[in-house]
Structure 1
Amino acid sequence: MCPFGTQGKGAGERYQGAVTEGQGMEVSKAQMLAFLGVCSVLWGPLIEAGELPPPPASLEAVADAQLYLELVINQMNTGRLVHVQQRAGQLYLQANVLQEAGIHLPVTPPEEVGLDSVPGLHSEYDIQAQRLLLDVPPDWLPEQVLGRRSAYPRTDAMSSFGVLFNYDLYLNDTDDAGSYLAAWNEVRLFDSWGTLSNTGQYRRSIVAAGENQMNNGYLRYDTTWRFSDDERMLTYEAGDLITVALPWTSAIRMGGVQVSRDFGVRPDLVTYPLPQFSGEAAVPSSVDLFINGYKSSSENLQPGPYTLTNVPYINGAGEAVVVTTDALGRQVSTSVPFYVTSSLLQQGLSDFSVSAGSVRRGYGIDDFAYGPGVSSGSLRYGLTNNLTLESHLEASDSLTLGGVGGNLKLGNFGVLNSAVSQSQFDGRGGRQVSLGYQYSTPGLSLAYQRLQRFDDYADLTVIDTDYISLSRRSEQVTLALDLDRFGSMGAGYFDVVAADATRTRLLNLSWSKPLWFNSSLYVSANRELGDSNWAMQAQIVVPFDVRGNFSFGTERSSSGVTQQRVNYSRSVPTQGGVGFNLGYATGDPPDYRQADLTWRLQSVQLQAGVYGTSQQQTRWADASGSLVWMDGQTFAANRIDDAFVVVSTSGFPDVGVRYENQWIGNTDKNGHLLVPWSSAYYRGKYEIDPLNLAANILSPNVEQRVAVRRGSGYLLEFQLSRVAAASVHLVDARQQDLALGSAVLNEQNGARSVVGWDGLVYLENLAEQNSLQVIMPDGQQCKAKFGLPPETDQVPLVDPVVCQ
């Protein structure tokens, strides 16, 4: 070992003392100089400074050792402390340690890996910081999947017991045609077991004229029970329903049962394939994603390969720019084109519908009229992210039908769809073939669809009729083009061959352009091919403010009749108010005029108007709204077509309520407020404003997020409570305030508190008579008794209370 001596001695003296005292032996002068050279290298600084020796300067300084080092991979601190063996200047690490750190070696490693023996792996021992620095190729590291695949977090949908009555009363009076009253209504009963609804209309002729006498009485439309399982994304229906159809099939009305996949119960879920952008990061970096020039997301990257997935709010072709930035600010930008379409399903995702029952007859004419028994089923399956397969089956006593189809994404060049189906109806066979193509970009949209039927093709829409009503062929082409500062243009061609072989071909052209001060110009022209005349229309719309606009234009029919129109309208405010619409036209028919007024209240919407010519006019009035019964109370509101919420504040009135940060109103005298609009299954935010509450009312929660089932209502309760509280002024026997910080124990409920400034202590959950035990900072104890004052809207002050 090297010698240690007093600082007053020289090196030779220290060495001499060490030899004579420690070892008692003599050495040569050469041995002494060599020994002093080693000491000056290894221990010189410590000898001079009187400190511990520093760590070795290189691996060769200590050939064999067991080390515990902090693991750093590609400049990314893993936060792991690993055991490293050092032998003959080489570092060895257990293979399972590398695997646990996420490093996948290209070959199967031995149980102990020599870090310098693996090609592609570079290791470095940071002696000063006691770290093991590893650099590996990025593809050896685990892949990272970044971005969000849902629109927003999912919330379980809720429903409470209640009854809803929707109504729409319409009164019509026409010159020389009589007058009548129509009252449409819907009764809906709902709870956690689903929704049971019935719709119908009551009609009554008031003044009959000529042959306009209608059938008076009540007419039933639909009676349906529906339950949606948002966990499994299934909807069960029984009663009157409409079958689910594919783009190349037809839907029918039936009375029966139906089970279908319902993606509508999960609006947070994205069902179509999302674009993915892949890459590698050698060191810790950040990645920014730009979609069509707009920043979509920003993520932090660890070293290794990554896949970035995000929800693009576009449909069609687009361009993504992926920008990675490392810790030194170096950036790499990559442009990637992509194509998004909602007509495809993600790989492995399925969509289906199965229904069985009897065909509905005379809908809107008869209450209960049903035909033969039928069944129908459809299935869509995402085979890959680029191919979605479809199939459809229909059956009845006289009909069998089967078909297959699919949607194929052609890279970044659009989507091709095709389907073929075969039917057998009353011994006659037929076939249907469809073919289509869609392509869209932010500035261009093109769609083509052709459907051809051969022989005696039939489906469920014709089995209960005396004639074949399906068209033989339909073909359509539509084009929309954004011309930038020159506006936008649209074109459409439609060719239909009916069942009786008559052919109709229509051509439609339109052009619109923004003008000054948010005004706009709209021009359209259409023509039936084979007819030499065009029907044309031109209109200019000038907005006056947010809710009002003025428009004027001219139009020409294909028969050559021209007409000029002028119109001024003002929309009704969302929160309620008055709106109106005024219009005048001259030409043929001459002097056509119209005027109507809308008054929207919180409980009902009222409308009235008149339209017609000077020879014949029609006057009408309408009242629509809803009545809701929930939590033992009836509420009146505008018509509710979807979900709604009743906010309860535990009986406390005049509490402000907000929905999605918009002011709705205050709770009534019973502590309720109806929020009549709420999108089903949407995770809406509801808030109460406690500022109007008394000081002794607790509101532990002032904000809740809740999703409501389709067609249902939910009772959203905010648990407010009035507390028996008081501020007590404690004094001692000399009428001096008790010392600050004295500990207070309520002997009735065991609650503890502390005396504040001026001897005041705040206490809750008090009884009519209360006793307190107080321990003062100096250790002295005293007791105080007081009675709770009568209940008020404020926290009372009990002053003074002697503690003795």
Structure 2
Amino acid sequence: MASWMSTKQCAYLSLILILVPSILLGQGGEMAILKVTLNQEEKGEFLVFITEDGDYLIKTEDLTKMGLSEARGKISTIEREEFLSLRSIEGVKFEFDEKKLALSIHAEPHLFGKRVLSMRYPKKTEKIYYPKDTAGFLNYNLTYYAGDQFKYEQTQLANQLGFRKGDFLFLTDSSYSQRKGEGAKFVRLMSHLTYDRREDLLRGVLGDSFATSGDLGSTLNIGGISFSKNYLIDPYFIRYPEISFSGLLSLPSEVEIYRDGVLIRKERISPGEMILKDIPTYVGRGLIEVVLRDPFGREQRILQPYYFTDRLLKKGLQEFSYHLGFQRKNFGLKSNDYEDLTFLGYHRYGLTDSLTLGGRGEATENLLNLGLSSTLLLPMRMGVLDASIAWSTTDGRRDGLAGMVNYLYQGRNLSLSLLLRGFTKEYFNVSLLNTTERTKYEITTGAGYHTSWLGSFAVGFSQVNKYQGVDTKSVLASYSRRLIGPSTFSATFKRDLESHQSEFLLSFHYHFKNLVTVSGSHQRTNGTYNERVQVIKNLPLGEGFGGRASIDRYHGKIDEYYDYNLLLQYNARYGQYGGEFLSSNHQERYSLMTAGGISFIKDTLSFSRSIQDSFAVVKVGELKGVRVYLSGQEIGKTDSRGKVLIPNLGSYYDSQISINDKDIPMDYTLSEVIKYVNPPFRSGSFIEFKAVKFQAFTGMLKLRKEGEVKPLEYVEFKIILDGKELALPTGKGGEFYFENVNPGKYRGELIYMDKKYVFDIIIPKSEEMIVELGEIICE
């Protein structure tokens, strides 16, 4: 307990001893400040009333601060404060050391409050800013294509326009192309207005969107309205059942959590009921070990096997998506080709942590399709089973049925999978209405085994039989292993049992630290061979080069030829530029590309690389050359306006934006150097670090009276700043001092010897840290 608290308590004790009711003092009680230890944990010094019969009374407020929030017993009121008798609390023992003035208390765990700790994400202690700025952006990508001898073939311009205001986002993209000998063609792609209600994880869309109705259903491009529960709006929200652990601690303990033998979290926890929830796990079967270690070094180990899947929903949670609109036809070819009013939707509900149930449906003027689904965590951690059934009816046809069973087991070394799907000939969903190829049944099964020493083995079998169309049946075997350093080797064999054709692939990859990957492969397909050597340099997040170079050799029984490919790209500050050369079987093709983005927010228009997600403008006063960082990586330096653009800010995630305070001049002050920002989807944020220039002003206030000028010492006068009064004292010789006032002319007021004086104070524009104003004469 801090020393200031002891001083405060001493003053309070003195007051209590004077004012405490005489009837209580008559019982022989006394007040004392004692060092209190609770279950071997020092809590500090507290005010304690000691009764004549050896009971100890402590303020209920102090007991709650110590952690005994569930303590109940006899309460006495002393000077309008509630004191709780330790002797009256069931489950509490205490011992007083008179020499050390120390009170040792031991309480049973159930008397402490419940402490719930989320293990997946650390507790947020920083202040998170959730911006809702009005902003917009325009992305463009212009590509020029040429053929042999660099003869012109085509020009293509793709663009995307986005505008956000508050919780609403308008987004549209389009394509413009011109081919040699043909007219120009403009095609609108996707356009929609999106509304997100972040606190409820709800999203509404008006316009184009891709809709799905789940297993055995369709996925369509629909123009209309949609309403969904979107958990991606808050990636920190845990929607699937995680592993939790609870227990009672009688002593302060150190808790260590191990996942499959690897330490993933360490905490120090006070006595009481402890709940560790959302312990992070991998998909599949594993083992969580919790180690409890008390102050005496005694350990307790608890083992908890688990099977984790992200297919389940937590008990009581629901997930849904409903779409109503017109089907988009000829997407990418025509701008406004819509027909057939259609409904698609699904709804899933976490009945328990082990069972999620759902329903789905589709409807058009001539079709109704309904279905049920379930996801079950099997007993004894034997895997996850998905099952679905669907029924359809269409005009002029008999009713149809379809079913699906999907089993998945993922162990530490072994994995198994099985997918079965069957359809009657009369079963239709919206996607199947316009196709003649109909599946009768589908079987896909696989098994895999992995060890860090041997690598990964996998085998699989797939068979699809159709009412109309081509049947397929194939087997697959693969092997992969990490070799020395950051290198990997893989081999794959595939055999088509219907056509009796085989395919074999060997590949090797080596990853360098400078974003460079070198790979080589050999492939054989039905007597044709292909060898490839490839070097890839990934583009950096900031400015820099990237590219790809590859050589392919094709040879068979008849001919042999080579393919060459060279791609170069450069991330510049205001855009991205690139070029590609491709030579395939003696035919050449060239392309040149330029891409970028134009964004605006408040009074700032910026040019940059394409805005792929969200962006932010960071302002640091009017200071130039201040380095700005995103999650520790330098993004750039502020310009002459004190601004820099961050073109790649992640939506919905907490992003740390910071500045280098070493770049701030000595005569400037900062209120903070780090901000945490969580922007909405495809948004622009204005992040300001206020840098205030420190500037002091000094002068002497004097009075001219009867031709004589004398200093006004030790008086108080006022300056009127934007309608507010700033009171200033004078010292010896009438000297005064104040800070950080903008240049301008201000009014001063003084009441001296019952007379009011009014005068002007002129603040000049100056770069000096200390500005001398000289003599200010009152008349």
Fold-level match, TM-score > 0.5? yes
717-726 or 677-686: which moved more?
717-726
Give runs of aligned pairs for residues 229-248 of structure 1, distance below 5 A. 229-248=197-216
Distance 1:113 1:745, change over 3 A: closer
Residue aligned with 2:200, SS: coil
Distance 1:743 1:399, change over 3 A: farther
Match of 1:327 among 295, 301, 308: 295
Distance 1:423 1:187, change over 3 A: same
Q: Which has the higher strand share?
A: 2
Shift of 1:65: 8.6
1:296 aligned partner: 264
Determine the C-alpha separation between the residues in 1 that align with 2:767 and 2:596: 37
Tell me the amino acid that sits aligned with residue 644 of structure 1.
F
Distance 1:743 1:702, change over 3 A: farther
1:764 aligned partner: 740
Tell me the amino acid that sits aligned with residue 173 of structure 1.
A
Shift of 1:402: 1.4
Matched, 1:166 2:153: no
1:458 aligned partner: 428
Match of 1:416 among 372, 375, 385: 385
2:602 aligned partner: 631
Give runs of aligned pairs for residues 211-250 of structure 1, distance below 5 A. 216-250=184-218
1:786, 1:801 within 8 Å by CA — same for their partners in 2?
Answer: no
Distance 1:307 1:631, change over 3 A: closer
243-252 or 703-712: which moved more?
243-252
Match of 2:457 among 475, 489, 493: 489
1:103, 1:142 within 8 Å by CA — same for their partners in 2?
Answer: no
Determine the C-alpha separation between the residues in 1 that align with 2:687 and 2:362: 44
Determine the C-alpha separation between the residues in 2 that align with 1:499 and 1:159: 54
277-286 or 641-650: which moved more?
277-286
Shift of 1:621: 2.0
Tell me the amino acid that sits aligned with residue 634 of structure 2.
W
Matched, 1:317 2:285: yes
Distance 1:169 1:770, change over 3 A: closer
How well do the aligned residues superpose, as a CA RMSD in angstroms?
A: 4.2
1:548 aligned partner: 516
Per-residue CA distance 1:433-484 (angstroms, 9 max, x = gap): 1111222234443332222112311112234x2x454533233224443231
Per-residue CA distance 1:33-88 (angstroms, 9 max, x = gap): xxxxxxxxxxxxxxxxxxxxxxxxxxxxxxx998999998766788998999999x
Per-residue CA distance 1:608-638 (angstroms, 9 max, x = gap): 1221235212222222221213334432222
1:710 aligned partner: 681
Determine the C-alpha separation between the residues in 2 that align with 1:73 and 1:701: 38
1:689 aligned partner: 660
Determine the C-alpha separation between the residues in 2 that align with 1:666 and 1:133: 58
2:629, 2:636 within 8 Å by CA — same for their partners in 1?
Answer: yes
Determine the C-alpha separation between the residues in 2 that align with 1:337 and 1:581: 46
| Structure label with greater radius of gyration | 1
1:271 aligned partner: 239
TM-score normalised according to structure 2 size: 0.79
Tell me the amino acid that sits aligned with residue 605 of structure 1.
Q
Distance 1:681 1:135, change over 3 A: closer
Distance 1:754 1:701, change over 3 A: farther
Give runs of aligned pairs for residues 538-577 of structure 1, distance below 5 A. 538-543=506-511, 545-557=513-525, 559-577=526-544
Distance 1:147 1:768, change over 3 A: closer
Determine the C-alpha separation between the residues in 1 that align with 2:531 and 2:425: 48
2:68, 2:113 within 8 Å by CA — same for their partners in 1?
Answer: no
1:748, 1:767 within 8 Å by CA — same for their partners in 2?
Answer: no
1:181, 1:205 within 8 Å by CA — same for their partners in 2?
Answer: yes
1:147 aligned partner: 118
Determine the C-alpha separation between the residues in 2 that align with 1:77 and 1:721: 44
1:766, 1:788 within 8 Å by CA — same for their partners in 2?
Answer: no
1:648 aligned partner: 619
Distance 1:333 1:613, change over 3 A: same
1:203 aligned partner: 177
Determine the C-alpha separation between the residues in 2 that align with 1:142 and 1:450: 50
Match of 2:568 among 579, 589, 597: 597
Tell me the amino acid that sits aligned with residue 162 of structure 1.
A
Give runs of aligned pairs for residues 12-51 of structure 1, distance below 5 A. none
Shift of 1:645: 0.9
Distance 1:796 1:168, change over 3 A: same
Tell me the amino acid that sits aligned with residue 475 of structure 2.
L
436-445 or 188-197: which moved more?
436-445
1:694, 1:794 within 8 Å by CA — same for their partners in 2?
Answer: no
1:429, 1:456 within 8 Å by CA — same for their partners in 2?
Answer: yes
Matched, 1:188 2:165: no
Name the count of aligned residue pairs: 701
1:287, 1:325 within 8 Å by CA — same for their partners in 2?
Answer: yes
2:311 aligned partner: 343
1:538, 1:555 within 8 Å by CA — same for their partners in 2?
Answer: yes
Give runs of aligned pairs for residues 438-477 of structure 1, distance below 5 A. 438-463=408-433, 465=434, 467-477=435-445
1:122, 1:134 within 8 Å by CA — same for their partners in 2?
Answer: yes
Shift of 1:168: 1.7
514-523 or 399-408: which moved more?
514-523
Shift of 1:258: 0.4
Give runs of aligned pairs for residues 40-189 of structure 1, distance below 5 A. 102=70, 123=93, 126=96, 128=98, 136=108, 138=109, 143-148=114-119, 150=121, 153=124, 155=128, 157-175=130-148, 179-189=153-163
1:581, 1:597 within 8 Å by CA — same for their partners in 2?
Answer: yes
TM-score normalised according to structure 1 size: 0.77
Shift of 1:573: 2.8
Determine the C-alpha separation between the residues in 2 that align with 1:743 and 1:550: 79
1:779 aligned partner: none
Determine the C-alpha separation between the residues in 2 that align with 1:86 and 1:170: 93
Matched, 1:527 2:495: yes
1:150, 1:311 within 8 Å by CA — same for their partners in 2?
Answer: no
Tell me the amino acid that sits aligned with residue 356 of structure 1.
L
Tell me the amino acid that sits aligned with residue 156 of structure 2.
A
Residue aligned with 1:188, SS: strand
Determine the C-alpha separation between the residues in 2 that align with 1:181 and 1:771: 66
1:668 aligned partner: 639
Tell me the amino acid that sits aligned with residue 264 of structure 2.
S
Match of 1:282 among 240, 245, 250: 250
Distance 1:554 1:377, change over 3 A: closer
Tell me the amino acid that sits aligned with residue 537 of structure 1.
L
528-537 or 423-432: which moved more?
528-537
Shift of 1:662: 1.4
Match of 1:262 among 194, 211, 230: 230
1:432 aligned partner: 402
Residue aligned with 1:231, SS: helix
Tell me the amino acid that sits aligned with residue 550 of structure 2.
G
Identity value in percent: 20
Distance 1:573 1:91, change over 3 A: closer
Residue aligned with 2:453, SS: helix
Tell me the amino acid that sits aligned with residue 584 of structure 1.
I
1:6 aligned partner: none
Shift of 1:401: 1.7
Determine the C-alpha separation between the residues in 2 that align with 1:301 and 1:354: 45
1:789, 1:796 within 8 Å by CA — same for their partners in 2?
Answer: no
Tell me the amino acid that sits aligned with residue 460 of structure 1.
V
Structure 2: unaligned runs, 5 residues or longer: 1-26, 74-83, 703-712, 721-725, 751-756
Determine the C-alpha separation between the residues in 1 that align with 2:660 and 2:389: 60
2:754 aligned partner: none
